[in-house]
Chains A and B, each alone.
Chain A
Amino acid sequence: MIELRRVHRFFGSTKAVNDVSFEVYRGQVFGFIGPNGAGKTTSMRILSTLELPSFGDAFIDGFSAINDPDLVRRRLGFMPDGFSVYPNMNCVEYLDFFARSYGLIGKERIDALKRTLSFTGLDKIAAKSITGLSKGMRQRLCLGRAMIHRPSVLVLDEPANGLDPRARIELRQMIQQLAADGTTVLVSSHILTELAEMCDQVGIIERGRLLAVGSVEQIRRELQGLLQVRIVPLDRRSELIDWLTAYGAAEDIKVEGVAVTCHLPGGEQDQARLLTALVGAGFSILEFAAHRESLEDVFMKITSGAIQ
C-alpha cells in the first residue's frame, strides 16, 4: 500500500510538490497525470526515497520513506523516466547484477532471473547487449530490473514514453498483470487515454497541487455530472429543439449539422427517460448517443496549463 501524507517539496521559492496526499491500496494501479513540471516525478522520487520532502511523509506498507528508507526500498521497484545502461553487458548480466544487489543468491537468484526474463519477454534476447536494444526492449528490461526482487509496490515514471503502439499495449498488459498479482502500481504518463484504461484511480496534479483524486468515473462525475447527448432526428428538427427546451432537463441545446446536441444532468436512467419521451412525443430518431467527458476533457478542464 502507498500513502502520501501532506507531502511538500520546495526548491527555493518553487513549490514543486504542494500538500499532496493520496492512498493506493494493494493491487491497485494509480495513474499520476499532470503537465510537465507539475510535480509528478518529484512526488515519485520522494516515495522512492530518492528525495526528502520539505514537509510531510510518504509511506509504503506503513514504513516511512524518511525514517525507514531501507525497509521502503525492499518493497519498492522504481523505474525512472530515463533509462541508464551499463556498457559491455547483456540483458541477463544486467538483471543478474541487480538480483545480486537485492541480496538474492543461489537458486533464488536464478529463479528470479528466469521469472523476470520470461515475464518481460526478454528471454529471447537474453544474451543480447543492452546497448543494442530497442526503446521498447529497454523499457522491458528496466521494468524487469524494477521487479526482479518481487516488490509489493512499483513506481513507474512515464514508462510508455516514446514507445510504439504495440509496445505500449504490451507494457499496459504487463502492468495490469502485475496489479492482478497483487502489486500496487503508481504510474505516471502523458498518454491520458492509456491511463484511463488501466488505472483504478487517477490523480491530476498541476503546479505541485493535487487537483483531483479518484477513479476516472468519479472525477468526471464530480467535475461535470452532465451527459453530452447527440440526437439525429429524421425530420422536425426545429420542433425537436422546442420540445427539448420545454422538456426542462436538457441544457445548452445546439444544432450541429444534422444533429441536435444538449447536456443532460444525471445518469443512464435520465438518458433512457429522455429517449422514451422523445419516441413517445412522436419524433423519428435516427441516432441517439450520449457520452460523458473523456479523461482528456476532464484533464483540460481541471488544469490551467500554467507552468512554474
Chain B
Amino acid sequence: MSSLPPPPAISSEPLSNSENQHSDIIQQLLDGNGTWDRRLIDWSNWFNPILVKETRQALKSRQFVWTFGLLVIVVLSWSLLCILGTIPNIYYASDGRVLLSGYLIILVVPAFIIIPQSAFRSMSSELDDGTFETLSLSMLKPRHILFGKLNVASLQLIIYMSVVAPCIALTYLLRGITLELILFDFLVVTLTTLSLSVVAIALASFSRSRVLQVLFSVVLIGLQLIVIFPVTSTLIALTFSGLSGSASAGNSIAWTTLAVVGASAILYSWLLFSCAASIIGLSSENKSTPIRIPLLVIGILIPIVGLLMTGYFRPDNDGRALVQSMTIILTFLAAHWAFAGSLMVGERGFISLRAKRTLPTGFVSRLFTTWLIPGPGTGYVFALLSFFGGLISITAYMVLAQNTSEFLLEFLWYAIAIMAYLALYLGLGRLLSMLFLSKMQTGRIVATFALIIVMNILAVVISCSLSLFMNGYLRMDYDWYCFINPWWTLGEAYPASYLRGRTTPEIAISVLCLCAIPITLLNVLLSAKDIVIQRMETPSRVLEERAKIQGKTSPDFPAEDVAIDPLQ
C-alpha cells in the first residue's frame, strides 16, 4: 500500500530538465512560442491578473469568437452595401455620415449590450461558482478585482472598435464627417459602455442570492434598453448635424446637457464602483468612508454645476427664471442626500478594531473628517451638513444675484421645508432603526431604507385621508396638518406663487420645523457615541510586517490599506 514514491520535497530552486521530463512543455506554456509571446508575457506582469486570465479565457470562448466574427461580417456587409449603393457618386458625394451612422449602430450592439452583460455574468459567476472566495483570499483587493473586470470590458471594447476602425477610416475618406466627430462618437460609446459595465459589475456584486441575481439581470437589461436608444439617437443626430453646428442657445443647451450627463455618468459610476468594492471587501474593513467620499464630491458638484449652468444660460438675470433654476438644483441636491442619508442612517454603529486604526487623530483631521467615520449618527449629521452647505451656497448666489429679492422669501421657505424634511425623516429613520433593527446583523441598511420609504408612503396616505375627512370626503385641500406629507408640502411651497396664485404654507412649515428640531437634536446627541470613538494604534509588529511587504511587493499590489484620514 505504501509502495508509492513520496512526492519530491519543495525546493526554491527551479527544477532542471533531467528532473522533469515535461519541463520543456511547461517552459513553452509559460514562456510562449515566440519573441512576441515572450514579450507579451513579460509585459503581462504589470497587467491586472484578471485581465490576463479573462483574455486567455475569451480567446478560447465560443461567445467571443461568434461576436467578433459576426461583427466583422456585418461591418463588411454594411460597407459593401453602402459603397455599391452609391458607386456612381462615390467620388464626389459626402456619404460619410450615412456610413458612420451605420457603423455606430452596429458597434453599439456589442458595446452597450454584450460587453455589460458579459461583465455581469463574469462577476456573478465568480460569486455563484464559489471562485470569488478563493480569489478574495489572494492579494487582490476588491478594487483590483473590480478594475480587472472593468479592464476586460475595456479590452473587449477596444477589440470591437478595432473591427470598426478601418471601415470608419474609409468613411472619413468619403467626406462629410470630421476627425473630431469620429473621436467624439468613440468617446461617447466608450463612456457609455464603461458606465454600463460598472453598473453591471456593481449589480452582480450586490446579488448574493439567485433571486437577486435574476432581479438585477432584469434591471440591467432594462437599463441597457433605456440607454441604448437615446445615446444611439444622439450619436446619429451628432453625426448628421456635425460637432460645430450653429451657435444657437438650443445647441449650447444640448452640449451642456451632454457634458452634465457625461460627468454624472462618471461620478455615479465612481460611487457605484465604491459601493461594489465595499460589498465584496473584508467584513472588518471600513466600508462606509470610501462611499461617503464620492457622495460628498457629487454633493458638492451638484450646486456648482447647477450654478454654472444657470449663470451660463440665464445671462439676462431674469429673477423668476433664476428662482426656478435654484429650486430645481436644491431639489436635486435634496434628493441626492435623502437617498444617501437613508442608507447611511441604517449603518451598524459598530466599528471594527481594524477600522478604528484608520480613524483621524489630529485636531484638523478630526474637524474635517469626523463625519466620514462609519456609523448612523455620523451619517445623519454628514447628510444634513452636506446638504446645508449646498443650501447655503445656493442661497448666497440668490442673495448676490439681482432681481431675485421679491422671490427670496418664498425660496427660503422652500429651502427650510426641504431641510426640515431631511432632518425629520432621516432622524426618524435612524431612531426607529436603533429601536427595532439593532439586532439585525445583515441587511440593516436596506431595512432602514425601506422603513423610510414606508414612513413616506404612510405620511402621504395619512395626510390625504385626513384632508378628505376634514373636507367631508368631497375634496382634498392642503392644510397645516398635511405637513407630514413632504411631496404635497413641497409642491405647495414651490416658489412660484405667481404661477399658481397661492401662498406659501408658512404654518405647515413652521409646525414641520417644530417637529424636526427635537428629532435633530436627539439625533445629534446620540451621534456623540459615533464621534467619541478614538483611533487605535496599529501594533508595531503589524506595522513592521507591512513595511517588510511594502518593500517586496510589486507596484500593483499596495500592501497597506489606505487610511481614511486624508489629512494625515
In the complex, A166 Cα to B357 Cα: how many Å?
Answer: 50
In the complex, A14 Cα to B10 Cα: how many Å?
Answer: 42
**Which of B125-133, B202-210, B476-484 makes up part of the contact surface?**
B125-133
- Give the residues from 377 to 429 in chain B that come closer than 8 angstroms, CB to CB, to chain A: none
- Give the residues from 352 to 397 in chain B that come closer than 8 angstroms, CB to CB, to chain A: 352-354, 357
**Which of A99-107, A225-233, A288-296 makes up part of the contact surface?**
A99-107
Highest count of chain A CB atoms <10 Å: which of B9, B10, B11: B10
A163 within 8 A of B: no
Residues of A within 8 A of B6 (CB): 173, 176-177
Residues of B within 8 A of A87 (CB): 57, 61
Question: Which of B30, B354, B357 meets A92, CB within 8 Å?
Answer: B30
Q: Which residue of B lies closest to A148 (CB)?
A: B138
B18 within 8 A of A: no
Contact between chains at A88 and B60 (CB < 8 Å)? yes
Contact code string B20-52 (vs A, CB < 8 Å = 1, else 0): 101101100111000000000010110001001
A68 within 8 A of B: yes
Residues of A within 8 A of B130 (CB): 80, 82, 84
Q: Which residue of A lies closest to B355 (CB)?
A: A67
In the complex, A126 Cα to B559 Cα: how many Å?
Answer: 31
Interface residues on A, range: 35 or more
Tell me the smallest distance from the CB of A5 to a CB of chain B, in Å.
14
In the complex, A113 Cα to B15 Cα: how many Å?
Answer: 11
Question: Which of A74, A76, A176 meets B549, CB within 8 Å?
Answer: A74
Contact between chains at B4 and A173 (CB < 8 Å)? yes
Tell me the smallest distance from the CB of A10 to a CB of chain B, in Å.
9
A255 within 8 A of B: no
B502 within 8 A of A: no
Contact code string A34-53 (vs B, CB < 8 Å = 1, else 0): 00000000000000111110
Contact between chains at B131 and A84 (CB < 8 Å)? yes
Contact between chains at A86 and B57 (CB < 8 Å)? yes
In the complex, A126 Cα to B44 Cα: how many Å?
Answer: 20
Contact between chains at A115 and B7 (CB < 8 Å)? no
Summed over the interface, the residue pairs from A and B with CB atoms below 8 Å come to a total of 164
Contact between chains at B139 and A74 (CB < 8 Å)? yes
B541 within 8 A of A: yes
Residues of B within 8 A of A71 (CB): 542, 545-546, 549
Residues of B within 8 A of A236 (CB): none
Contact between chains at B9 and A117 (CB < 8 Å)? no
Contact between chains at A62 and B45 (CB < 8 Å)? no
Residues of B within 8 A of A262 (CB): none
Contact code string A110-127 (vs B, CB < 8 Å = 1, else 0): 110111011111011011
- Give the residues from 66 to 103 in chain B that come closer than 8 angstroms, CB to CB, to chain A: none
Residues of B within 8 A of A110 (CB): 14, 30-31
In the complex, A51 Cα to B133 Cα: how many Å?
Answer: 11
Question: Which of B14, B138, B559 meets A101, CB within 8 Å?
Answer: B138
Residues of A within 8 A of B282 (CB): 49, 69-70
In the complex, A98 Cα to B20 Cα: how many Å?
Answer: 23
- Give the residues from 158 to 195 in chain A that come closer than 8 angstroms, CB to CB, to chain B: 166, 169-170, 173-174, 176-178, 180-181
Contact between chains at A80 and B7 (CB < 8 Å)? no
Tell me the smallest distance from the CB of A163 to a CB of chain B, in Å.
14
Contact between chains at A169 and B138 (CB < 8 Å)? no
Residues of A within 8 A of B284 (CB): 52, 66-67, 69
B134 within 8 A of A: yes
Q: Which residue of B lies closest to A96 (CB)?
A: B30
A89 within 8 A of B: yes
Residues of B within 8 A of A66 (CB): 284, 352-354
- Give the residues from 523 to 545 in chain B that come closer than 8 angstroms, CB to CB, to chain A: 541-542, 545
Contact between chains at A105 and B131 (CB < 8 Å)? no
Query: 3 smallest A-B Cβ distances: which pairs?
Result: A101-B138, A100-B49, A88-B60
